[in-house]
Amino acid sequence: MSDELHHRLSPSSAHRWLDCPGSVALAEAHGLAGKDSDAASEGRLAHEVFAAMLLGEPLPEAPEDMVALLRPGADTILAHVEATGGHLYVERAVPLGRVIPGGFGRADVIVTWVDDCGPQVWVIDLKYGMVRVDPSHNPQAMLYAIGAMDDLCDGDPPRVLIGVFQPRAGGWRRWSPCPGDLAEFAARVAAAEPLTHNPTALSPTARACEYCPAKGVCPALAASMPTEIAENSIASTPAMPEATTVAPDRVATILSAKNTVEKWLASIYEAARDKVLAGGQPPPGLKLVAGRLGTRAWADHEAAKEALVGALGEAAWEPRKLVSPATAEKLLGKGSEAMPATVQFPTAPVFVPEADKRPALGAPALPLGAEGAS
Ligand code: SF4
């Protein structure tokens, strides 16, 4: 994982630089390279725990539920290695020079073995997030697969199996690319690589821009913003149109861009804040101040306990609270007959594209331009 952070074309951000190759050069030009947000500390710890389980090493200190969630995945891999007499590689740096000059990536897990069908390679990517990741045509996993084939497989080309283990989003998912899938993907990467040196080779898409480190400085993203937002965000006297007066087709454009717009505005805020904290000038007319004080906490928990129990007795403690359904299920085990019935209440309604499978609330949408025609 750490080596990837030092290569400009990391597999973990391949979904972005394949869609928008210029994002790499643009981020580099602004000192923003390597600031993708997918290296969260919780995810890093999960990878360390998973690696230790597979290598039979002492586990790093980690929450019990994380250990419990990761264990079945590690057991599945270890059982497979034993059953096939295969080789296990953990956090293996694999070369990507075939498609990215000087490139490499660090695969979470690779298993190789030979059976009646010939050589096999299983590339496994651990994902600890809760947004479901699909292994099919997954650029990160396909890069690892290319690296694993070049690094570990001599002779006949192996059959490749890609696995995503995502314990908080459904567990295992697998995909077996055919040789044509990998060849086509390798050609796509090789074609994109030269463009990653060109900061004007920009191509905004919701998927690429969402976690792009350069979105706060990106002219292509700013140009793609709905004009009501882009123009008014930079106006000296903001004059957003009254919400009820915006035409329906513009409302559709604005709502479709909501996530990207929010992240774009947040990135501008963060960039300005980081600049001031690093000793730079604040934006004209603004200053950075300390945030409001957070919730009060005991300065010395043990001393507070002693004082409050002495003064209040039992009243010093919070009343007992029933565990949540999620905690009860964890304690009782899935499918336990002791589990009481649960209900779920919908959260606030959300706008989604018409193609979404969920039934619509209210009247059906009219075709664009039809509103007001009668
Ligand atoms: S914000 Fe979007 S368009 Fe701009 S560089 Fe990043 S991915 Fe490309």
Residue of the nearest CA to atom 5 in ligand 1? 23
Give the pLDDT of the chain (374 residues) as one tens digit per residue. Answer: 444 446 789 998 999 999 999 999 999 998 888 755 444 678 899 999 999 999 999 999 999 999 999 999 999 999 999 999 999 999 999 999 999 998 999 999 999 999 988 899 999 999 998 888 999 999 999 999 999 999 988 777 789 999 999 999 889 999 999 989 999 999 999 999 999 999 999 998 878 888 888 887 888 887 877 666 665 555 455 566 777 888 888 888 788 778 777 887 888 888 888 889 989 998 888 899 988 888 898 999 999 999 999 999 989 998 888 988 988 988 898 889 999 999 888 788 888 777 788 888 877 666 655 554 43
Q: What is the DSSP letter of 310?
A: H
Centre of ligand 1 to C-alpha 208, Å, is 6
Reading the block at residue 182, the tokens are 């990998």
Residues contacting 68, CB < 8 A, separation 6+: 330
CA distances from 15 to 21, 219, 278 (A): 10, 20, 31
Residues contacting 112, CB < 8 A, separation 6+: 86, 87, 89, 119, 120, 121, 122, 148, 152, 153, 158
Ligand 1 atom index nearest CA of 204: 3
What sections of the chain are H helices per DSSP? 2-5, 14-19, 22-29, 41-55, 64-84, 139-152, 179-192, 206-210, 219-224, 227-233, 248-256, 258-277, 301-312, 325-332
Please state the length of the chain: 374
Pairing of the two strands 159-166 and 171-175? antiparallel
The whole-number pLDDT of residue 232 equals 55
Count CA atoms closer than 13 A to 252's CA, side-chain side: 10
Count other Cβ atoms within 10 Å, centred on residue 205.
14
CA distances from 158 to 25, 202, 254, 292, 350 (A): 35, 36, 48, 58, 46
Look at the pTM and tell me if it is higher than 0.85. Answer: no
Centre of ligand 1 to C-alpha 105, Å, is 22
The whole-number pLDDT of residue 372 equals 45
Nearest to 29 by CA among 192, 193, 195, 199: 199
Centre of ligand 1 to C-alpha 19, Å, is 9
The whole-number pLDDT of residue 319 equals 80
With tokens 């209900």, the residue in question is 343
Residue of the nearest CA to atom 2 in ligand 1? 209
Centre of ligand 1 to C-alpha 267, Å, is 12
The whole-number pLDDT of residue 91 equals 95
Centre of ligand 1 to C-alpha 344, Å, is 38
Ligand 1 atom index nearest CA of 23: 5
Centre of ligand 1 to C-alpha 213, Å, is 8
The domain 3-197 is placed in CATH, from the list 3.90.320, 3.40.630, 2.60.40, 1.10.3470, at: 3.90.320
Residues touching ligand 1 (Cβ under 6 Å) are: 16, 20, 23, 26, 202-204, 208-209, 212, 214-215, 218, 220-221
Q: Of the residues 18, 28, 197, 209, which should be mutated to test ligand 1's pocket, given the most ligand atoms within 8 Å of the CB? A: 209
Centre of ligand 1 to C-alpha 255, Å, is 19
The whole-number pLDDT of residue 4 equals 46
3-state secondary structure 77-126: HHHHHHHHCCEEEEEEEEECCCCCCCCEEEEEEEEEEEECCEEEEEEEEE
Residue of the nearest CA to atom 1 in ligand 1? 215
- Find out whether 208 and 35 touch, Cβ atoms under 8 Å: no
Nearest to 211 by CA among 264, 168, 265: 264
Q: Of the residues 9, 16, 17, 20, which should be mutated to test ligand 1's pocket, given the most ligand atoms within 8 Å of the CB? A: 20
Report how far residue 345's alpha carbon sits from residue 67's, in angstroms, rounded to the nearest whole number.
30
> What b/e string do you get for 140-153 counting C-beta neighbours within 10 Å, with b at 16 or more?
bbbbbbbbbbebbb
